[in-house]
């Protein structure tokens, strides 16, 4: 299975900055290793510019950070999945911790986004992860199970396993420099794998599980070597071509 190496640029980069980084990234990475898939998720305003810079560079994909689960309509400030596919997006995120905890998105809305995105031509990355008080309170499994069960409730068992990805991002490790330890990652990913098998049967073994939270060039090879880690979702270290290209090739 190909490991999915994804860059989430969050609310960083103008069109000019995004173009510059995208062309630098293509130059630095060169040929993407055969066992890797590379995805850059810019702010919506820069998606098309990045897609243009990627041009015919084989294997570089763009994705969307967010959308509203409707075809179109009076939803000021929102964009629809078909607008993301129109910008060449292949993937979109749902349930990122910043959407959940800064913008108050609940599990049901996240689940609607996952289902709607899949039905409208996007592969979906469902982000899950516990907050620090939930970890300290021994509630990691309860939180992950709820986020997975509700987030994937509308997803058909018949979808191709490559269309859905789960990103485990412990909230306390995001942007803090505090990466989760190997035991914590292995335990959470094994738990997620078991829930995926419960939900999707055999196919659950082939659904990719990414880790996200303070991934850097210096720790990514070790993280990618852990059991059930099928990729990484990178924030801060994905903002420079030098560090993200090292992660892609780690």
Ligand X SMILES: O=C[C@H](O)COP(=O)(O)O
Interface contacts to ligand X, rule CB under 6 A: 8, 96, 169, 174-175, 212-215, 233-237
Q: Which residue has the tokens 């959470």?
A: 188
- Output the smallest distance, CB 133 to ligand X, in A: 18
**Judged by CB, which is closer to ligand X: 69, or 95?**
95
Q: How far is the CB of 167 from ligand X (least distance, A)?
A: 7
Pairing of strands 36-41, 231-234: unpaired
User: For residue 160, what is the enclosing H or E element?
Assistant: none
Residue nearest to ligand X (CB): 235
**Which are the catalytic amino acids?**
96, 169
Cα angle value 84/89/95 (rounded, 5°): 75
Q: Is the CB of 80 or the CB of 237 nearer to ligand X?
A: 237
* Residue 227 DSSP class: T
**23 assigned ligand-binding residue:** no
Residue 47: both structure tokens together: 């998606």
- Is 104 one of the annotated binding-site residues? no
CB of 237 to ligand X, least distance (A): 6
Please spell the DSSP secondary structure of 64-120, one letter per residue: ES---SSSS-S-TT---HHHHHHTTEEEEEES-HHHHHTS---HHHHHHHHHHHHHT
Residue 10 is assigned to a ligand binding site: yes
First-to-last alpha carbon distance for the chain, in angstroms, is 16
Is 129 marked within a binding site? Answer: no
Nearer to ligand X, 7 or 79 (CB): 7
Cα radius of gyration (the chain): 17
Give just the sign of the alpha carbon dihedral 118, 66, 187, 3.
Answer: positive
Question: Is the Cβ of residue 80 or residue 173 nearer to ligand X in the bound state?
Answer: 173
Nearest distance from C-beta of residue 149 to ligand X, angstroms: 22
236 is in an annotated binding site: yes
Q: Known binding site: residues?
A: 8-10, 175, 214, 235-236
Residues annotated within a binding site for substrate: 8-10, 175, 214, 235-236
């Amino acid at each position: 299975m190909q490991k999915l190496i994804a860059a989430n640029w969050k609310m960083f980069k103008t069109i000019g900055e995004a173009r510059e980084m995208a062309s630098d990234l293509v130059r630095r990475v060169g040929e993407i290793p055969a066992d890797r898939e590379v995805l850059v998720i810019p702010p919506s305003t820069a998606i098309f510019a990045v897609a243009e810079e990627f041009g015919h560079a084989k294997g570089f994909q763009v994705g969307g950070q967010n959308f509203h689960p409707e075809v179109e309509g009076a939803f000021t400030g929102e964009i629809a999945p078909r607008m993301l596919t129109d910008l060449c997006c292949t993937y979109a995120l749902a349930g990122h911790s910043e959407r959940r905890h800064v913008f108050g998105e609940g599990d049901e809305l996240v689940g609607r986004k996952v289902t709607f995105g899949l039905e409208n031509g996007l592969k979906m990355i469902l982000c899950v992860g516990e907050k620090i008080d939930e970890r300290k309170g021994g509630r990691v499994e309860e939180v992950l199970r709820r986020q997975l069960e509700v987030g994937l409730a509308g997803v058909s068992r018949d979808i191709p396993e490559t269309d859905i990805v789960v990103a485990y991002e412990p909230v306390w490790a995001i942007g803090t420099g505090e990466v989760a330890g190997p035991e914590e990652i292995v335990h959470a990913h094994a738990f997620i794998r078991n829930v995926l098998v419960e939900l999707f049967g055999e196919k659950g073994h082939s659904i990719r599980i990414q880790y996200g939270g303070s991934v850097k060039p210096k720790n990514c090879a070790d993280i990618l070597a852990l059991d059930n880690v099928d990729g990484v979702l990178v924030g801060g270290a994905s903002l420079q071509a030098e560090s993200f290209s090292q992660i892609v090739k780690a």
